[in-house]
């Protein structure tokens, strides 16, 4: 039987998260970074995909 707990892949998700400019010790990043494993998922608990138009505004 396979273990359903997965190690969270921060390096894969944090760069695309809408909170990626937040300091590590501020919420929601602090809670997210302190959760190393999740059941059935490698995605961080507070991950929210950054909207594409938000990225375009930041480039200007």
Sketch the domain layout of the chain as residue ranges.
Answer: 9-47
Q: Where are the alpha helices (DSSP H) in 1-60?
A: 10-13, 29-33, 52-59
Q: Which two tokens stand for residue 4?
A: 């359903």
- Confidence band, pLDDT 50/70/90 cuts, at residue 2: confident
Cβ 28 vs Cβ 46: under 8 Å: yes
* Closest to 16 (Cα-Cα) out of 48, 60, 39, 44: 48
| Alpha carbons within 13 A on the beta-carbon side of 4 | 2
User: For 6-50, what is each residue's pLDDT tens digit?
Assistant: 999 999 999 999 999 999 999 999 999 999 999 999 999 999 999
């Amino acid at each position: 039987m396979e273990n359903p707990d997965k190690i969270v892949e921060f390096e894969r998700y944090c760069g695309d998260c809408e909170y990626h400019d937040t300091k590590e010790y501020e919420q929601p990043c602090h809670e997210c970074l302190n959760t190393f494993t999740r059941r059935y998922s490698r995605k961080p608990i507070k991950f929210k995909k950054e909207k594409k138009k938000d990225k375009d505004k930041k480039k200007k």
